A and B are shown apart, each in its own frame.
Chain A
Amino acid sequence: MKFSRRELLITAAKGALITALPMGAIKFLEPKEVMAEIKGPGKVRWAFLVDTYKCVGCGLCVKACKNENEVPYDTPVTRTWVERYIIKKDGEMLADSPMGARDGFTENKIRETAVDPKDIAKAFFVPKLCNQCDTPPCVQVCPVGATYQTTDGVVLIDRSWCIGCGYCIMACPYGVRFFHPVHKVTEKCNFCYHRITKGLNTACVDACPFGARMIGNLKDPNDPVTKIVLTERVGVLKSEYGTKPQVYYLGLDENVR
């Protein structure tokens, strides 16, 4: 194969241009814009931010969630819940979430045993909900295509198609899935899909008086959640499972399970 000088120059220029392109992307785009590009096509990628410093364990989020999403109020199962962690000075970790903290935490007792305030090294609350993982293992294992991820990142369950095998429940490392007591199909948090797609906040975000919960669009560089995720030190739960969870935590302690 023979190149004329002209062709050679054009090819070289093209090659240089192609190699230079990614560099240019980093150079001219804001980091968050690059991130939005990496996250794939589409304009929305829902993500959640939990500020564990702000959570006081009132459980109003759980109450609102159960009502909004019609999860029977007096059952222990719930789409979102709040955990209490007490780390004692001798290193012992105590944790609980009675009824998912539907009624909040009103006593300094864990499983009926009082904790001496003098023994407490640190204590805090951690709200939990579906992580809407980028690579959701629950979706991967559904045998019939009854649970799936939308283009905006939320994992939904088709109540008319779920056969109720429970494989997705087993596959979730976060324990967010359960069988709906009335519909008899799997159920989990879907970031109040009916609310966020109408421009509203999720019920739990609205119900929280302290701003411990935020929902945002990672593909919008000006979204407050995106800004915090990109500029502050945030953590995610159980990243070792390779699920790429999209619920970010501020002030995540290593004791949190």
Chain B
Amino acid sequence: MKSHVWRPLWIVLGLVGLILLLRPLIVPSDFGTGERGFMYGYHRKGNEEDWKAIKVKYRSKEYCKDCHQEKYDSNMSSKHSIIQCENCHGPAVDHPENPEKLVIDKSRALCIRCHAYLPYEQSDRSKIKGINPAEHNPDMECSMCHDPHKPNLGG
């Protein structure tokens, strides 16, 4: 084995050794094969917690109820009770601290997501009361006549 023929091999082995030595210094210690095995579970364990730690932004109706009981009750007695407050008011995040005020979307564009009539009888879309946005008071905000919380006119 003293022959010069082996020198390139020693260099290659040296490089491999170097990589193996460096690996523990660079790769996070929690990197490895998880419960799902090597094919589907090879990862940095800490990343699962990273994802869990993401901030929840949409808090849902129950979060709003405590302070806005009146609006909540009014809404819950109408057909729009199925709609989340935050679909129009925007994500609460840490409201009222942050943001202090929510930006309310009162646009026609929001209403016609459901209420623009589409002739699709096989989908529940056609069961929703629909209008032709181009003909039904096109220059007016829907909320001028319809209360978004309790939309039935006069009801």
Contacts and interface: CB of A to CB of B under 8 A. Distances in A.
Q: Do chains A and B touch in the complex (CB under 8 A)?
A: yes
Interface of A: 41-42, 52-60, 63-64, 67-68, 86, 103-108, 117, 120, 122-125, 135-136, 139-140, 145-151, 156, 158-161, 190, 193-195, 197-198, 200-201, 203, 206-207, 209-211
B118 A57 contact: yes
A182 B91 CA distance: 21
B123 interface: yes
A125 B119 CA distance: 13
- SS class, residues of chain A in contact with chain B: loop
A54 B40 contact: no
Given A60-B87, A122-B122, A139 B40 contact: yes
Contacts of B40: 135-136, 139-140, 148-149
Interface of B: 31, 34-36, 39-44, 47-48, 50-58, 60, 82-84, 86-87, 90-91, 109, 112-114, 116, 118-125, 128, 133
Contacts of B42: 145, 148
Given A57-B118, A148-B36, A193-B52, 17 more contacts: A57-B123, A58-B113, A68-B57, A68-B58, A105-B116, A105-B118, A108-B118, A122-B120, A124-B120, A148-B47, A150-B36, A151-B34, A156-B43, A158-B50, A159-B47, A201-B60, A209-B82
B84 A210 contact: no
- Among B84, B109, B112, B114, chain A packs the most CB atoms within 10 A around the CB of B114
